Chains A and B, each alone.
Chain A
């Protein structure tokens, strides 16, 4: 580990991975600053003339702004509902002995592994019949159910690390189970709850399959799906640059959140794996 040779290997390896992951993002950013007509006519990674034109276009179109509102609203609601459910379930799994505990955990795992695409068809029919098609709840429900497994697993790992004595002390001090949960366990598990919330939010924010299949209008269509319907400023141009600008707009919040909370996210994903 200490030798110069291995240091070099590490450096080269890191650089490769960095380039591999950063170039596509940078490319999109660069495209978003190019003139709409530049793509396909001029070569070069950097824009020939830098312009904010694409961003102006994106925010002028109702398609994008309503999709942005949908995305934010749906993701936030799904996150809130999912985290509340996941917290309660994870607490029960970590603390209580009840029949079917293993079944719940395996079931959650099975859902996480379930191919989402195979559900889209049936859901499409079902949603249309019961009037959930192209509505916010129509997206929130599948988001919550597919985000729950990860949130439950993350949170129960967190809950397991909180010493039992905390709760017992609270009970002896005069707390009901609910008070012990609310005043002692939840504050202590806050980092875990937070991590679960971020992960759930990303899942909803990034989803494309449900977004494109279960919506048909501006009513509920989220950004990833809306991008596919983009036409750009003029009918005669490829909307590549405008799509890229929209992509940058939706990527920025994710990048910012990750940068701010990367420590917590890593801690959340590895909780229980390593004693720390």
Chain B
């Protein structure tokens, strides 16, 4: 087990394009770190640099206290699960899992014991004599994990391991990976483009954009205190609504109506004339369902609902609005960068399913103004990030993590651990 320390890592390809640009990231010992971002953001490249399959153009990579920039993959003592699993088709499940041990010249009876323990842990015992071609997607995935954990690697690296599975299996494997990682307590770096995986698995999440690190934080902090427009838009589904607003005294005039802001937010805006207001879909409510005292704590907007989607547990309403051309273009760019392609400027609103709002209606929507974010439209920076809240969240995340690890340790003491230490 070891920490992974990256400082000023750059990967430049032959054409001079930096796939990874000046990334400094510190993965603590035993931590579950997620690398997330839209396609082409450099997350896989970064992972492959950690494992040694890509050369590092500049910067320093340390695993534990060893500088590994020029160390061959096989000498880094890391194990990796590939997106397509990369199982050896000519070997049985047993030999696939045993492969790293055989290379390390582990004696035969110990190989047998360790492979069987691993298979037991992953419920693969009955499949040990089969070939990978005869296994289902989920079983192959587990074999790939078995091959990764059978050896006492310093860290596990996952490259979008669940993206080839169907949705239901993906959910099961996700909890399985999480449980396994907490149980083994091994440093893990996990690449994904899937929000849910990023939010549920990681102790911390690193958001990348065009090879540059945007923010590294606990999932909760990313969601509640995003550093900039990109992170705010990327984390959360449906994503945060960005409304252009002009500043009038202590009010923000948006195309949907005026939003009063508190002093802290007003100060943060400074002398900017135009800003982007970020409102999460769930910060809206159907005004008719809001109690009077709650109503007083927010603002009420009147807007025309275009389309509604009733999902049983939630109701999504789409509210189109007009935006100045330059802001609309900026929002379109952002949407495209986030792998989406939003054609019109519209707000997505998540309402209580009991709401009677229907399409084509002018509706009264209540907005929780205490949860607004204000972004600078040119730099994209979040002007209203609450540093106190950030510190509290980080502290809370650390405490939660420690508590969880402690609980896991006592759990594994009661049941004899299958893995070796």
Residues on A lying within 8 angstroms of B by beta carbon are: 163, 165-166, 168-176, 179, 183-184, 187-188, 190
Cβ contacts under 8 Å, A169 to chain B: 80, 82, 86, 88, 147
Inter-chain CA distance A249–B319, complex, in Å, is 86
CA distance A163 to B86 in the complex (A): 8
Given A168-B82, A172-B78, list of 19 further CB < 8 A pairs? A165-B84, A168-B53, A169-B86, A169-B88, A169-B147, A170-B88, A170-B99, A171-B52, A171-B53, A172-B73, A173-B74, A173-B99, A173-B100, A173-B103, A174-B74, A174-B100, A174-B104, A174-B151, A175-B103
Q: Would A166 and B100 count as touching, CB distance under 8 A?
A: no
Once bound together, how far apart are the Cα atoms of A181 and B82, in whole Å? Answer: 19
Bound complex: CA A170 to CA B90 (Å)? 13
List 23 A–B pairs whose Cβ atoms lie within 8 Å, in order of A's numbering: A165-B82, A165-B84, A166-B86, A166-B88, A168-B82, A168-B86, A169-B80, A169-B86, A169-B88, A170-B99, A171-B53, A171-B74, A172-B73, A173-B147, A174-B100, A174-B104, A174-B151, A179-B103, A183-B99, A184-B88, A187-B90, A188-B90, A190-B90
| Residue of B whose beta carbon sits closest to that of A173 | B100
Q: Name which residue of chain A comes closest to B53, CB basis.
A: A168
Q: How far is the CB of B92 from chain A (nearest CB, A)?
A: 13
- Max chain A Cβ within 10 angstroms of own Cβ: one of B78, B84, B86, B100: B86
Q: How far is the CA of A173 from the CA of B90 in the complex (A)?
A: 16
Query: Given the complex, which residues of B lie within 8 Å of A179, measured CB to CB?
Result: 103
Nearest B residue (CB) for A165: B86
Residues of B74-123 whose CB lies within 8 A of A:
74, 78-80, 82, 84, 86, 88-90, 99-100, 103-104
A174–B103 touching, CB < 8 Å: yes
Chain A residue, CB-CB nearest to B147: A173
Pick the contact of B53: A172, A174, A184, A190 (CB < 8 A): A172
Q: Across the interface, name the chain B residue whose C-beta is closest to A162.
A: B89
Q: How far does the alpha carbon of A171 sit from the alpha carbon of B75 in the complex, in Å?
A: 9
Which has the most chain B C-beta neighbours within 10 Å: A165, A171, A172, A187? A172
Interface positions, chain B 130-186, Cβ under 8 Å from A, are 147, 151
- The A-B contact count (CB < 8 A) is 54
- B72 adjacent to chain A (CB < 8 Å): yes
Complex CA–CA separation, A236 to B72 (angstroms): 75
- Chain B positions near chain A (C-beta within 8 angstroms): 51-53, 72-74, 78-80, 82, 84, 86, 88-90, 99-100, 103-104, 147, 151
B151 / chain A contacts, CB cutoff of 8 Å: 173-174
Bound Cα distance A172, B159 (Å): 13
- Docked pose: A171 CA to B80 CA in angstroms: 10
CB distance from A276 to the nearest CB of B (A): 14
Q: In the assembly, what is the distance between CA of A171 and CA of B99, in Å?
A: 11
Cβ–Cβ < 8 Å partners of A188 in chain B: 88-90
> Roughly how many angstroms separate A187 CA and B53 CA in the complex, as a whole number?
23
**How many angstroms from the CA of A183 to the CA of B98 in the assembled complex?**
13
Residues of B with C-beta under 8 A to A165:
82, 84, 86
Closest A residue to B159 using CB positions:
A165
Central interface residue in A170, A174, A188, by most chain B CB within 10 Å:
A174
Q: Known contacts A179-B103, A187-B90: does B84 contact A173 (CB below 8 Å)? A: no
- Residues of chain B with a CB closer than 8 A to A163's CB: 84, 86
In the assembled complex, which residues on chain A have CB atoms less than 8 Å from the CB atom of B80?
Answer: 169, 172
Task: Report Cα–Cα, A170/B74, bound state, in Å.
Answer: 8
A87 to B100 Cα, complex, angstroms: 25
Are A176 and B90 CB-contacts (below 8 A) given A168-B82, A170-B99, A171-B53? no
Q: Which residues of B contact A168 (CB under 8 A)?
A: 53, 73, 82, 86
In the assembled complex, the Cα of A229 lies from the Cα of B23 at a distance in Å of 78
Report the Cα distance A183→B99, complex, angstroms: 10
Chain A residues, CB < 8 A from B90: 187-188, 190
Q: How many angstroms from the CA of A217 to the CA of B418 in the assembled complex?
A: 71
Alpha-carbon gap, A175 to B89, bound state (A): 17
Cβ of A271 to closest chain B Cβ, rounded Å: 16
Residues of A within 8 A of B51 (CB): 172
Cβ-closest chain B residue relative to A175: B103
Given contacts A166-B88, A188-B90, contact A171 B103 (CB under 8 A): no
- What is the bound-complex CA distance between A173 and B98, given in angstroms? 10
CB distance from A249 to the nearest CB of B (A): 37
Complex Cα distance, B100 from A122, in Å, reads 53
Q: Output the least CB separation between B302 and chain A (Å).
A: 56
A190: which B residues are within 8 A, CB to CB? 90
Contacts of A170 in B (CB 8 A): 88, 99
A168–B86 Cα gap in the complex (Å)? 9
Nearest CB in chain B: distance from A179 CB, A = 6
* Inter-chain contacts of B104 with A (CB < 8 A): 174
**Alpha-carbon distance between A67 and B13 when the two chains are bound, in angstroms:** 59
Q: In the complex, are the beta carbons of A173 and B79 less than 8 A apart?
A: yes
CB of A57 to closest CB in B, whole Å:
48
| Chain A, Cβ-Cβ closest to B51 | A172
Question: Roughly how many angstroms separate A172 CA and B103 CA in the complex, as a whole number?
Answer: 11
Partner of A175, one of B52, B53, B74: B74
The reply to whether A176 and B86 contact each other, CB–CB distance below 8 Å, is: no
Query: B84 contacts which chain A residues (CB < 8 A)?
Result: 163, 165
Please name the residue on chain B nearest to A187 by beta carbon.
B90
A219 to B53, CA, bound (A): 54
Closest to B79 in A: A172
Most chain B C-beta atoms within 10 Å of own C-beta, residue among A163, A168, A173: A173
Which partner residue on chain A sits nearest B80 by CB separation?
Answer: A172
A72 to B89 Cα, complex, angstroms: 35
Docked CA distance A160–B411 (Å)? 48
> Contact: B86 with A171, CB < 8 Å?
no
